Chains A and B, each alone.
Chain A
């Protein structure tokens, strides 16, 4: 590995100025499960890694049914799914946190790192999208701003972050009554693989649990960035829960997919999978509302 400097930031302000000073030659370090591999393989050259794991702000993990979830950008997957209240409130996020790599990866890999790495196939992004997560970003000179997660990635490996900025935490609204979420992906193996396609869904049902109040659908690995399938989810609002409504939403999701062919799958297979996985994600989320 090419030599670089390692600094563990003690405050948010210190982190932003350490990053700002070095421009694109500095990167935040969370769990390192993407960054260390990338630097080692010379896909990324750096002068400085700024460890953001020691900051209290990136380690918050607090949930209340009234205010929702505050999730620090550096909290590893393992810690998230170890929390019963969070697991019950946001099952779609937990589906993703439990399938990133194996146990040892989940002990380090953060949701913040998964988002900031901006892989089109990143597993936590569709659930973050369907749960309406907001990114809290800190920048130089004490600036902060908030960006909805579906607007955060701008291309493969590209994000809205400007020089000196980093992701501090996520704000995820409390789950509405009669709601739930679900995420699944297609991979050729049972574990330890990257999604060929991933699909997440969140649904809010009425009190009789027979019609949709609203729904959101998020997709991974079918475009340069993970997508919010806005029309597909929107088409379900007010509809009775039925195969027809679900199939129509799945077709609308297929319509916005712009997949490529690569070693993991062809564009045609991916488009087919968007339909199958969207149906399963919706059905899974509905099932969870009914079981609750």
Chain B
């Protein structure tokens, strides 16, 4: 069997080191090696977005990236959003808008929404819906999720201008 690889990377701003098998995905490394279980496995083939993470500033499906590919990169996961005593505005907005039911899709949606707002602080509803088209939710019907992202955008831009 091929040897495990030693990977040094940055996760949520902190240096991380781990050993993984070459075949293990970032999703498997996060959940099974590093015990960061926020990213979820829905489809394991790139269709559902439950495993969304931000790699070097870009939204990706962690089920379609190998752990070995993280060497020297920077990864943001759902665990990096909240402060110890304060939720991220997108997390607040999801709660306020009841934008979740079973919750399995929620970390993926929130990470995807963060990637959107990082590069487009004031998206239209159309832009939000297209950006989130790779994230599936079987419970909410999406409208509340879209409203939560719109609310979060408002909160975050007023925080910036305040």
Contacts and interface: CB of A to CB of B under 8 A. Distances in A.
A192 B135 CA distance: 10
A55 interface: no
B23 interface: yes
B130 interface: yes
Interface string B56-84: 00111101111011010000000000000
A104 B61 contact: yes
B5 interface: yes
Nearest to A189: B133
A104 B134 contact: yes
B-side binding surface: helix, strand, loop or mixed? mixed
B150 interface: no
Contacts of A107: 55, 58-60
A133 to B, nearest CB: 25
Interface stretch (A32-40, A61-69, A121-129, A165-173): A32-40
Interface residues of B, number: 34
Contacts of B58: 76, 78, 107
Nearest to B63: A36
Contact of A40 (B44, B49, B112, B134): B44
Contacts of A39: 23
Given A3-B22, A107-B60, A32 B2 contact: no
Given A3-B1, A191-B133, A192-B134, A49 B64 contact: no
Interface residues of A, number: 31
Interface stretch (A4-12, A197-205, A252-260): A4-12
Given A4-B22, A103-B112, A104-B52, A37 B64 contact: yes
Nearest to B135: A102
B25 interface: yes
Contacts of B132: 102-103
B2 A4 contact: yes
Nearest to B2: A5
A49 B44 contact: no
Nearest to A37: B45
B99 interface: no
Given A6-B5, A6-B68, A103 B134 contact: yes
A190 B133 contact: yes
A51 interface: yes
Interface of A: 1-6, 8, 29, 31-33, 36-37, 39-41, 49, 51, 53, 76, 78, 101-105, 107-108, 190-192
